[in-house]
Structures are given as C-alpha cells and as structure tokens.
A and B are shown apart, each in its own frame.
Chain A
Amino acid sequence: MKSIAAYSAVVLASITCSSAVFAQDSGYFGANLGMQFQVGNILSNRSGGLGKLELGSNGLTSIQVVGNAETGFRFGGENRNLFGLFAGVNAGNPFNDGSPIYLGAELLNYGNHNLDFKIESFSVVYQGDDGGGRQEGFSSSLQYQLGYAYRTQNWNVTAQVHDELRSKGYTPENDPSFLNFTFSAHRSMPVPQIFNSELIMGISIAASSSDYANYQYGVNDDNRYKANREGLEDYSLDFAASAAVNAGLVVPLANNWLLTGNVAKEFLSEDLANSPVLDDFQSWSASTGVRYVF
C-alpha cells in the first residue's frame, strides 16, 4: 500500500445558495455540488463538509461526485436566536461510512457563539436467540455530535465531540467507546492587493478513541466488509490522531461569485499512518472551485 504516492489533487466546483425560506432572517438553505479527484488519504475531508456520492472508487484513488445540503430555521430575535432545528445530507468520505443523513438542534446561538447537537444515526435492532450467547430482544444505538463554534468576521473556531451510545445488548462482548474529537481554528485576512481577496489560514486536529479508530481505520471481522479492506490482514490501533494545516484564497469575481483555492497538508499519528487502509503518514491536497452565493 505504500507504493501509492501521497499526493492529492482535488478539483472542486461548488454552488452555494442562501435565502430566507421560512421567515425573514431565520431560515437558510445551503448546498454544495462538485467533482473531486483524490489520490492518497486526506482525512481532513471527513470534517470538511464535503459529502460524497461515489461514482467509482479504486482503493485510495477515487473520482467522485461530491455534494451535501443542509436546511434549517431558528427561533428568536436578531442575533439572539436561542433555538433552531436543522437537517442535512452528508455522505462522508470514502474512509468514513457513517450515516449520510443527520438531524440537529441549535441549542444556543448567541452573538458569535453557537452550540448545537446533531443526531447522526439512530438504530434499533432485534436480536433473536442465536444460541451464541447474544442477548435476545431489542437494543438501540445513537450516534451523536456536540459542536461548538465561535465565528467572527475574521475567526472561525470549532470544536466537536462525536460519540455513540449503545443500549445493553447491542454489542455482545463489550461496550465500545466511539469517541472522536475535532478542533479547528481558521483566520481570515483581507488581501486587497490581490484582487480584493481573503486569505484563510487554519489548523485542525482530530483524535479518536481506540474503538472508533479501529472501526474506521482498523481491519477486523467487524469492518472487513467495508471498502478498501479486501485481502488485508488484521490491524488494530490503540489511538488515532491527525493534524492539518491549510491556506486558501477566496477571490470575489462579482457580486455573487467567488473563486476559491486551497492547499492543505495533513499529518497522521503513527498508528494511523501504519494502517493498511491508509496510504502514508502525511499528504498534500489542493482544491479550486467557483461558488455562487445568493
């Protein structure tokens, strides 16, 4: 697996739209659609918000139609919306086969602070008596994410905790901890000398519990059915972490049109870098696109 060069090229065209759908200044709708070409393991995409509907995938090289959409509304007055609801579709990346649909509640939107709770999946299963020691009856699982964001004209700082709650009997052997933490900070700076553009620089880090890391990036009997794992030997991780830095430029083309470009470099922790489903311990990616905003 190490023979594949850890370079990535992403070609992305996106369309973004925004309008007051439900009532003045309280509703919104957003969507992204584009094409993406990728070679190498770019983990940042899992939190980068680019859902993917895969056209074809061959190991770590893939060409995909990417897209996601979200809509929602908020209650309350201007700049003090205290509660909102939203729903979205986001297919994740090739290495993350989580639920493509999510529902969320905006718990707090006060000034620059935003706190939300997102339900990513909820499942109920009935286990019959299989004679193998599994508990008979109904059990359930809830995957959720708690997110905080601080947004100003120049800063966008986010922190998210993802976890899964399982009722007794959902997993027979143990009670896995599917804990995943992400943090990102992005600074936007005007560069009027370069076509009145905005320079955006940022860092992001992610860390996962052992169970979650093994589910996503390990190879075992529970996840061998997933893509990229056929023929691979078992592999387990104690811990998974990654860090990325990126820089991008947003150039206004007209009142509603933006040209975007971004380069990123990502580093993986040792356990993650040695995973046979990933490629190397670091990778580059680049993307460009146009965006329409209304």
Chain B
Amino acid sequence: MFSKHCLLYLTLFALPSFAQDGVLKVQPEQCVVVKEGRQCQANVTFTWQKNEPSDVCLYQADELTTPIACWQNETSGEQRYRFKGANSQLFVLKSPKSDRELLKVTVNVSWVYQKKESSSWRLF
C-alpha cells in the first residue's frame, strides 16, 4: 500500500565532496520536465572555490575531451552553461594535464509523469 511514498530517509551528514580541496556548486541543481524521457534545458551557473591557486577545467563527465571552461592559476571561478539532457549529468572540475577529478557536481533531471503509463491514473 502506498508503495510510492514508503520511503525511508536517512540523513547522517551533509559533507560536500572533496571538502578539503574546495567546493564545486551548480545553480539550479535540478531540471524538471513534464514527462520522463524528455530533454531538459536550463541555464545553470557553476561556481567553484579551491584553497590554492590551480589550473583547472570544467568538463561534462561523459565528454572529457572538450572542456566547458578553463581557468589558470585561480582559486575560484564561475561559468554559465546551457544544460541539455534527458538524464542527470555529472560535471567535474579537474586539471587539464591530469585524469584526477578534483571536484564533482551533478545536475539532476526529474519529471512529473513517469514514462510507463499503464498503471498510472486515467486522464479525465
């Protein structure tokens, strides 16, 4: 009964990833479409901060060959970006000369209606 809402939430800690190295944020974090499977588009803004000046680039995780933006010898940066995708996507901040990912953030794609409609309610 009420399977859709029987969720157990456990909140232990809310630590940003790689807290020691800095922080990478995106606003807004979520992109909402009406139906699952639709492409979501949104203007998002990435901001990052590090403790020490670095040469870094911002990448979409599944497209590491082409950076979205790069900074040289900076401790912080901001970049606007036109997000497009039907699924959630991971973005990473890393050195252009290294494969090591320094910071990560995800733009989540969610939807109001699930794709499978056979069990959903009738349209009046």
Contact = CB atoms under 8 A, between A and B. Distances in A.
A40 B34 CA distance: 32
Interface residues on B, range: 20 to 34
A30 B35 contact: no
B51 interface: no
Given A25-B119, A153-B115, A254-B32, A30 B124 contact: yes
Contacts of A151: 117, 123
B4 to A, nearest CB: 6
Contacts of B32: 196, 252-255
A16 B6 CA distance: 19
Interface stretch (B38-46, B59-67, B70-78, B90-98): B38-46
A109 B113 CA distance: 19
A78 interface: yes
Interface string B67-107: 00000000000000000100000000000000000000000
A20 B34 contact: no
B112 A293 contact: yes
B113 A70 contact: no
B41 A196 contact: yes
A12 to B, nearest CB: 13
A32 B121 CA distance: 13
Given A196-B31, A294-B5, 13 more contacts: A16-B121, A19-B5, A20-B119, A28-B121, A68-B124, A153-B115, A188-B35, A190-B39, A192-B33, A198-B38, A252-B34, A252-B112, A255-B110
Interface of A: 16, 18-26, 28-30, 32, 49-50, 68, 70, 72, 74, 78-79, 81, 86, 90, 109, 111, 151, 153, 156, 188, 190, 192-193, 196-198, 250-258, 293-294
Interface of B: 1-5, 30-35, 37-42, 84, 110-113, 115-124
